[in-house]
Amino acid sequence: MSSVPRPVRLADDSGERVCPLGVCDGSGWILGPEDVARPCECRERRMARRRARGVASAIPRKYRGVSFERPPVSDMARDPARAPVLRAVKEFADGIDGRLDEGEGLWLMGDVGTGKTTLAMLVSKAAVEAGRTVAIYSLPRLLARIRRTYEADAGEQSYLEFFERLTSVDLLHIDDLGAEKRSDWVLEQLYAIVNERYEAQRSMVVTTNLDQAALEEQIGPRTVSRITEMCVQIPIMGRDRRSAASDLEVAA
């Protein structure tokens, strides 16, 4: 007789065993004929979340209320230059599970204040709501976090531990790519992260104020080449929304 694997208790905040996919009884295993058990998909997702502990996975407070149905995002639908961008991002977010399973990503590029970060946060929010693991960093914050691992005391997260967690999440969101001063160390760190995710076919969402040529100059052509293969490029045209709002206030 085949033995049944020892159940792994997967519980919600109340302590009740629950399957987020509504498939198993919450144990992480599905019992089949002749008492043969197979792992439920929720088990791998729960294990992935545990592996991802130690990375910044929460949507920043400023963006927790963003929605395709609310301003400022809904305003883009009335802007002929931005409406196609909004449709493309919404399509990506609506199919987030399939995109992440295929390792497909999104590259949003445009001037300051055109809504890149907001749109990228909508994609990350969709991934979080789908129960997928996400790491969200601005580039300067990510590099500062890596530097801190060099000074980690015993028992604290080492560089290798952080790197493994950062490169194993379902979606890595990097804001302001190219914002850091260029150095050999920066180039090395970015290439290592991007290349690891490229080889593992894990998705990324990146935003940058630079076009492709300028980004290659800033972070290196090898890294940009990997991102180009992984991500759909979406240029965002238009005026700085924050500046426009300020002008209206002055005129009033």
Residue 94 has pLDDT above 80, yes or no: yes
Residues 129 and 212 in one domain: yes
pTM of structure: 0.76
Nearest of 230, 225, 196 to residue 103 by alpha carbon: 230
Residues 86 and 23 in one domain: no
Residues 36 and 127 in one domain: no
Residues 171 and 137 in one domain: yes
Residue 155 has pLDDT above 90, yes or no: no
49-90 residue pLDDT tens: 555 455 666 899 999 999 999 999 999 989 888 999 999 999
Residues 124 and 232 in one domain: yes
Residues 35 and 58 in one domain: no
CATH number, position 167: 3.40.50.300
Nearest of 62, 197, 82 to residue 135 by alpha carbon: 197
| Distance (Å, whole) CA 96 – CA 105 | 10
